[in-house]
Structure 1
Amino acid sequence: MGKLQDKVAIITGGAGGIGQGIATAFVKEGAKVAILDLDEQSGQKVVERLQKHQPESMFIQADLANHDKLKDIVDQVVDKFGKLDILVNNAHASKAKPFLEITQQDLDLSFNTGFYPTFYLMQAAIPHLQKTEGNIINFASGAGIEGHATQGAYAAAKEGIRALTRVTANEFGKDSINVNLIAPIANSPGVQQWAKEEPEYYQQVLENIPMRRFGELEEDIGHAAVFLASEDSSYITGQTINVDGGSVKF
């Protein structure tokens, strides 16, 4: 019996990177996982791998910027599995730019793919999570916590998500719904590409991580998500868990 045996989870951005790592960790602990992603080809490949551990794993192609459809997606998962236990809001797209160059389009990209999907999926999921005393895992970032240069649009959306997390943790604690955040540094495909394009900057960031490595998608970030989604964290809510090798200190 795994720590998430027969739990039902929705994971956004599950076709790659951190989302894929979390989905893999979840199914290995017995969860039934629905991964949401715009990339159908990658999503189908990932769900085939997940089904080796949990045959009921499913992929839903979704444009998270189409906010009117998000409740329907939650209902689709509940109709299939009969319940919802875990919501993981991982997906987020943004562009790095100096502050004075940030446009409305840049802000819209960050908020429409990160903040608003998190908001609307939480609204749709919470009535179901009240029935299961479930868990929500949102994603913060050191870019917002520390205010990284060129990350204005991304950091603003991430800090908005942190605010939503604290509010809902306070409102729904009475229903035994746990709402927490992970702020990761991960060895994602995007980071690997960045290392090739800007090796000096990559090395500088790496040297500022006390543990001198980027987190592994499944073993580090995924296992932290398993902890937050399981009974092991039943008395933890409204918290930001920095899974970053010690980078953020406060």
Structure 2
Amino acid sequence: MGEFTGKRVVITGGALGIGFATAEIFVKAGARVAILEIEESYAQGTLSRLGGEAADVLFLPCDVSDALAVEKNLAVLMERFSGIDILVNVAGWELNKPFLDTTWDEYRAVMDENVGGAFLVSREVARLMIGSIPADNTSMCEAHRRGAEAQAQPPVMVRKSGGVIINVAGALCRGGHEGYALYQASKAALIALTRSMAAELLPYGIRVNSVSPGFVLSPGLRVGLRGTGNEEKALREFKEKQPLKRYGMTQEIARTIMAACGGDFAFAWGSDILVDGGYTLA
């Protein structure tokens, strides 16, 4: 029995790139994995690549920036898994566009997905980890919508139970890079959110950290570089800027995420773990 055998792991954006590599490594470690992914069309291929019926994997089509969708899908997840031990927030958008040409709608979309999604999923998962539910057994968001009277009902603290939340941020937010103003801003905000979450959730034994990859060869990176107008040229130029003269691999980031979820990182709370091949040293 390994450390993660039977652990219930939720991964947002788990169909591609770092998210998929993270799902794959947890499945191989014997974990039960639930993937929240906005692209429903990825379901069959993702489940097949993760081992098909032999693997205990649940694929839930979900826009993580939609509060109602998050609640609905987590309810389905709880019916299947009856609890959550680990959450990894990977879902994000690597928009690459000149600052002066960026629209307000794009700003909101990037922030909603990269920060808002992590906030919404983390909030609901943390409540489930704590075992805190409204006294009338409705969801927290539903109670909020009912107004001040519903909010006046304090949640019932059923139990205290530890858990782990990892937010995937980005090393790029530690510097400045043309074309990535919104991406960098969103990831910097995510690191700040991580630290505040860590402080507030520490009394409940929920450990929160972030992992900040550098440039990783993934579909997300290619989407971002496509915005330059010449994806292959941008790939070559970005690689030359890396101290190791290579891109990171999704599996390298996934192994770091798994390590951060384990007992060896039990003393790390509110930390941002850089995995950038020395990019921030250059």
Normalised by the length of structure 1, the TM-score is 0.91
- The answer to whether the 8 A contact 1:10-1:35 is kept is yes
1:149 matches 2:178: yes
The equivalent of 2:219 in structure 1 is 189
Partner of 1:203 in structure 2? 236
Distance in 2 between residues matched to 1:31 and 1:138, nearest whole Å: 19
The alpha carbon displacement at 1:167 in A equals 0.3
Report the alpha carbon displacement of residue 186 of structure 1 after superposing the two structures with TM: 1.4
Q: Could you say what the CA RMSD is over the residues aligned between the two structures, in angstroms? A: 2.1
Is 1:213–2:242 an aligned residue pair? no
Describe the shift of the 1:2–1:214 C-alpha distance in structure 2 as closer, same or farther (beyond 3 A): farther
- 1:229 maps to 261
Counterpart AA for 1:108: R
- The AA in structure 2 aligned to 1:183 is S
Residue 2 and residue 197 in structure 1: after superposition, are their counterparts in 2 closer, same or farther (change >3 A)? farther
Aligned length: 249
Which digits, 9 at most, give the CA deviation of each residue in 1:205-243, with x for residues without a partner?
A: 21222222212212x011011101111211112111111
Gaps of 5+ in 1: none
AA aligned to 2:105 is: Q
**Aligned match of 2:147:** none
The one-letter code matched in structure 2 to 1:37 is: E
Q: Deviations over 1:156-210 (max 9, x none)?
A: 2211111110001111122221111111131113445748933343223212222
SS in structure 2 of the partner of residue 149 of structure 1? coil
- In structure 2, the residue matched to 1:43 is 43
Could you say what secondary structure the match of 1:80 adopts? helix
Sequence identity (%): 31
Q: How do 1:56-205 residues align onto structure 2 when only pairs under 5 Å count?
A: 56-130=56-130, 131-184=160-213, 185-191=215-221, 194=225, 197-205=230-238
Contact 2:222 2:231 in 1 (8 A): no
Hey, what's the Cα distance between the residues in 1 that align with 2:85 and 2:187? 23
- Point out the more displaced range, 106-115 or 122-131: 122-131
Residue 238 in 1 paired to residue 238 in 2? Answer: no
Q: 1:38 to 1:169 in 2, by over 3 A?
A: same
Q: Shift of residue 35 of structure 1?
A: 0.7
Moved more, 51-60 or 29-38: 51-60
Structure 2 SS opposite 1:137: strand
Summarize deviations over 1:74-121 as a string: whole Å, max 9, x none: 232122111101111111125322222221111111012121111111
Residue pair 2:195, 2:208 contacting (<8 A) in 1 also: yes
2:12–2:19 CA contact under 8 A, matched in 1? yes
Opposite residue 57 of structure 1, the aligned amino acid is: V
2:279 alignment counterpart: 247
Structure-2-length-normalised TM-score: 0.81
Structure 2, unaligned runs of 5 or more: 131-159
Structure 1, residues 47-76: CA drift from partner, whole Å, max 9, x if none? 222235962211001122322221222232
Are residues 28 and 53 of structure 1, via their aligned partners in 2, closer, same or farther at CA, if it must alter by over 3 Å?
farther
SS in 2 for 1:136: strand
SS state at 1:65 partner: coil
C-alpha separation in 1, matches of 2:73 and 2:85: 15
Large movers: runs of 4+ above 4 Å: 192-196
Structure 2 residue identity aligned to 1:188: S
Q: Work out the CA distance in 1 between the residues paired with 2:109 and 2:210.
A: 21
Structure-2 separation of matches of 1:200 and 1:48? 33
Q: Which moved more, 1:63-72 or 1:228-237?
A: 63-72
Distance 1:190 1:154, change over 3 A: closer
